Amino acid sequence: MDKLKQMIIEKGEIREGNILKVDSFLNHQLDADFLYEMGEELHRLFKDQGITKILTIEVSGIAIAIMAALVFKVPVVFAKKTESLNLDKDVYVGQVHSYTKNKDYKIMISKKYLNENDKLLIIDDFLAEGSAMRGLLDMAGQCNAEVKGIGIAIEKGFQKGGEILRSEGYNLKSLAIIDDMKDGKITFRDE
Amino acid sequence: MDKLKQMIIEKGEIREGNILKVDSFLNHQLDADFLYEMGEELHRLFKDQGITKILTIEVSGIAIAIMAALVFKVPVVFAKKTESLNLDKDVYVGQVHSYTKNKDYKIMISKKYLNENDKLLIIDDFLAEGSAMRGLLDMAGQCNAEVKGIGIAIEKGFQKGGEILRSEGYNLKSLAIIDDMKDGKITFRDE
């Protein structure tokens, strides 16, 4: 998606440890019109997959996921990271390692909102090592839902998550794949 | 907003401690079309206020806020709850007490995304004691942004947050105000 690549180049900030900050439009401040365009692009990529539900994970996946849901006309379910007193007791649980926060945590989805009839599009803002995605796929597997697609905004192609998921046969598409971000210069993969 | 009241009656679940769960459309599973309608209603209520930015707080405020932003054609900024390694060091900090999680925590907004020229609409999913709102108002005050409106999806009118904010002169409007939810029966305030 050319506009996303352009936004990353213009507004992204590279930090130590291969961290790309896109806080001005995706992760802290949100550009609603642009996120809707990303939702339209995800619909273009996955519209023939019979998607019944979009699955994502709090926090940063929610805004893109709900914009895509508005185009797909299906509900979103987002996995929750912390054990709230309010959450149902009857939940699917997945395990995630956060590299940016350097800790493991559990994610949960109430069994009410995910079932074996669901044909899922899993959406997230970033894909790097794929740890959060692994937690989501694990939960989808626990309820025998079918994962029809994985839609990512920004994939760090120099980390191994995307490569492994594609080799496992997942229908993974990313709106922008960064192959290199050394010395402050971002190189995108040709599509 | 009649449709919201109807959704609360049909799909809300009352739990011990005056907790209302609306996980099927607002807090875990998200009904994108309905959230867009809530965004349109918030626009109808605040469209004459010259809003330049929508401010909310992760997690549950984000979905409503970005739908409203799509109608208002302004950006959203959401306050972050946890100190991520990725967050800017130059931040506004607010203090919040969570009654459902029974703990205090800090919320943060990067100074890049909030300034004295902003005319803010603050949006959140619930208003009860108003602790999260107080944290957001504190940060808006730190940068001298003008709070032109507060838009809430569901206000618990039997808790004191809304009454205090209105007495302080804030332009607070809620899409549904619950005056009582004793014995499993929800009574809405007449508008």
Q: Which residues of A touch B90 (CB under 8 A)?
A: none
Task: Work out whether the CA dihedral A176, A161, A54, B65 comes out positive or negative.
Answer: negative
* DSSP strand pairing (B53-57 vs A172-180): unpaired
Residue partners of B106: CB distance under 8 A and separation at least 6: B81, B83, B93, B94, B95, B96
| ipTM given for this complex | 0.94
pLDDT confidence of A16, banded at 50, 70, 90?
Answer: confident
| B165 Cβ contact partners less than 8 Å away, ≥ 6 residues apart | B127, B130, B133, B150, B172
Question: Is it the case that residue A151 has pLDDT exceeding 70?
Answer: yes
How far apart are the C-alpha atoms of B156 and B175, rounded to whole Å? 11
CA B33 centroid distance within chain: 19
CA pair distance B175, B67, nearest whole angstrom: 15
Residue B182's CATH number: 3.40.50.2020
Q: Mind listing the pLDDT tens digit for each residue in B33-58? A: 999 999 999 999 999 999 999 999 99
Which residues of B carry a binding-site annotation? Answer: 20, 27, 128-132, 156
Residue B86 confidence (pLDDT): 61
Closest to A100 (Cα-Cα) out of B106, B62, B80 = B80
Identify the residue whose tokens are 């499993």. Answer: B184
Q: Which residue of A lies nearest to B59 if distances are taken between CA atoms?
A: A59
Residues in chain B within 8 Å Cβ distance of A33: 70, 73
pLDDT in tens, A87-134: 667 999 999 988 777 888 899 999 999 999 999 999 999 999 999 999
Which parts of chain B register pLDDT below 50? none
Domain that holds residue A78: 2-188
Whether B84 contacts chain A with CB within 8 A: yes
SS3 B163: helix
Residue-wise burial string across A154-182, b where 16 or more C-beta atoms lie within 10 A, e elsewhere: bbbbbbebbeebeeeebebbbbbbbeebe
Count of the separate structural domains present in chain A: 1
